[in-house]
């Protein structure tokens, strides 16, 4: 397809009178190429793909600027293209994978993985809790680490989690936020959400900074994050996400996971964190669960 598009580009130059017919053929071939390039990529890699496509849009704008002799388009497109490529490289590094592996690997074929399509029936020893139970655990905590994920975004719970953090701080607890580079659906998704809630920047910690702190944390509060907290990435060589750096949530003294259900994340695999003896599962919409927990915590 790529060679065909290049050939049509040559046709543009050789026979300008046929430009209209060639244009529609190039348009169709380009759309097909884009679909075929993205289609094999697994859901868990979508943040990387989005970043890469953003970079492509910048490059396209820069090329258009050269055609139109527009310096603004050239500069703006170059900046978008360069920053997109840099962000893509950072995210690939965070997942411990190369861009070629993301684009052409088989990570997305979770249906062929032994750990795929696992649901609630595959879990044993799950300990569920209520908002009151979660509040009792948090009431005695001197240090807490919040791990936001896509569930936080879906329920728009960024303001609720900030309120909970403020209540914890009023009781003498030290609160930090652990940000994984590929948490959510877009690069920087969690940073934007927490910024909307005016969470202080000094409380936000990147993965490499916060991981050593989990050992000393009294409680880790996981809000909708799944794959980025999955211990299988460290412990199971056969897992599709093996080798991907994760947040060491399971090393905290207690873990509270707020999640609607036991459904898998983007990678489509089971998360052993949910079965950990230190983990309490609070099954609910994130915003409702956090608000109820905050209310109960205030009453203690």
Sign of CA dihedral 164, 144, 191, 109: negative
CA distance 147 to 73: 39
CA distance 99 to 24: 31
Q: Is residue 227 annotated as part of the catalytic site, yes or no? A: yes
Phi, psi of 128 (to 5 degrees): -90, 160
CB-hemisphere CA count at 13 Å for 25? 15
Give me the catalytic one of 227, 248, 250, 285: 227
CA distance 231 to 143: 22
Q: Pick from 235, 253, 256: which is nearest to 244 by CA?
A: 235
Angle of CA points 228, 183, 100, to nearest 5°: 80
Residues identified as active-site: 227
């Amino acid at each position: 397809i790529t060679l065909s598009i290049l050939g049509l580009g040559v046709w543009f130059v050789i026979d300008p009178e046929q430009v209209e017919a060639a244009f529609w053929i190039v348009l169709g071939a380009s759309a097909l190429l884009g679909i075929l390039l993205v289609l094999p990529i697994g859901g868990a890699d979508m943040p990387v793909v989005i970043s890469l496509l953003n970079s492509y849009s910048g490059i396209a704008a820069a090329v258009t600027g050269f055609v139109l002799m527009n310096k603004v388009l050239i500069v703006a497109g170059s900046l978008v293209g360069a920053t997109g490529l840099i962000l893509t490289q950072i995210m690939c590094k965070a997942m411990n994978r190369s861009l070629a592996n993301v684009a052409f690997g088989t990570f997305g074929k979770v249906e062929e993985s032994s750990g795929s399509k696992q649901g609630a029936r595959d879990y044993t020893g799950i300990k569920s809790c209520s908002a009151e139970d979660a509040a009792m655990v948090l009431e005695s905590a001197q240090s807490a680490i919040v791990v936001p994920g896509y569930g936080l975004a879906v329920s728009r719970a960024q303001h609720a989690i900030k309120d909970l953090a403020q209540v914890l701080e009023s009781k003498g607890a030290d609160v930090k936020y652990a940000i994984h580079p590929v948490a959510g659906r877009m690069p920087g998704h969690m940073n934007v959400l927490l910024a909307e809630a005016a969470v202080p920047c000094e409380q936000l910690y990147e993965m490499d900074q916060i991981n050593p702190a989990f050992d000393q944390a009294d409680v880790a509060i996981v809000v909708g994050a799944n794959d980025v907290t999955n211990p299988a990435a460290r412990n199971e060589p056969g897992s599709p996400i093996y080798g991907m750096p994760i947040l060491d949530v399971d090393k905290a003294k207690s873990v509270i996971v707020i999640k609607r259900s036991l459904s898998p994340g983007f990678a489509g695999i089971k998360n052993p964190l949910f079965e950990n003896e230190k983990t309490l599962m609070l099954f609910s919409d994130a915003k409702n669960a956090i608000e109820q927990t905050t209310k109960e915590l205030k009453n203690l």
